[in-house]
Amino acid sequence: MNNSLLLALDDSGREVILMGKGIGFNKSIGNHLKSEDIEKVFVLKDRSISKNIIRLASEIDSTYFELAKQVIDYAIEAYGMVMMEHIYLGLTDHLSFAVKRYQEGILIQNFYTQTLKRFNPKEFKVGLYALQLVREQLHVELPQDEAGNIAFHFINAQTNNSYSTDNKTIFETVQGILDIVKYNFSILYNEEGIGYTRFITHLRFFAQRLVNGSQDLYEYEDSFYTHVIESCKREYDCVRKIGIFIQEKFDSRLSRQEEMYLTVHIHRILEEYTHQNKK
Summarize pLDDT for 114-128 with one digit per residue, the tens: 667 766 789 999 999
With CA atoms as reference, report the closest residue to 144 among 107, 118, 119: 107
Instruction: With cut-offs at 50, 70 and 90, classify the pLDDT of residue 219.
Output: low
Is it the case that residue 216 has pLDDT exceeding 60? yes
Q: Are residues 107 and 213 in the same domain?
A: no
Mean pLDDT of all residues in 69-77: 95
Predicted pLDDT of residue 165: 54
The answer to whether the CB of 83 falls within 8 A of the CB of 71 is: no
Predicted pLDDT of residue 68: 93
Could you tell me which residues come within 8 angstroms of residue 187 by beta carbon, excluding any fewer than 6 positions away? 181, 269, 270, 273
Is it the case that residue 73 has pLDDT exceeding 80? yes
pLDDT higher at 176 or 214: 176
Q: Are residues 197 and 105 in the same domain?
A: no
Mean pLDDT of all residues in 195-223: 79
Is it the case that residue 56 has pLDDT exceeding 70? yes
Cβ atoms < 10 Å from Cβ of 100: 11
| Domain CATH for 37 | 2.30.24.10
The mean pLDDT value of the chain amounts to: 85
Is 53 domain-assigned? no
Q: Are residues 137 and 36 in the same domain?
A: no
Last residue of a domain, one of 157, 174, 199: 157
* Distance in angstroms (rounded) separating the CA atoms of residues 215 and 17: 37
Q: How many CA atoms lie within 13 A of 138 on its CB side?
A: 22
Summarize pLDDT for 99-114 with one digit per residue, the tens: 998 898 887 666 567 6
The total domain count for the chain is 3
Residues spanned by the domain of 9: 1-46
| Highest mean predicted confidence (pLDDT) among 3-17, 25-39, 217-231, 261-275 | 261-275
Q: Are residues 32 and 65 in the same domain?
A: no
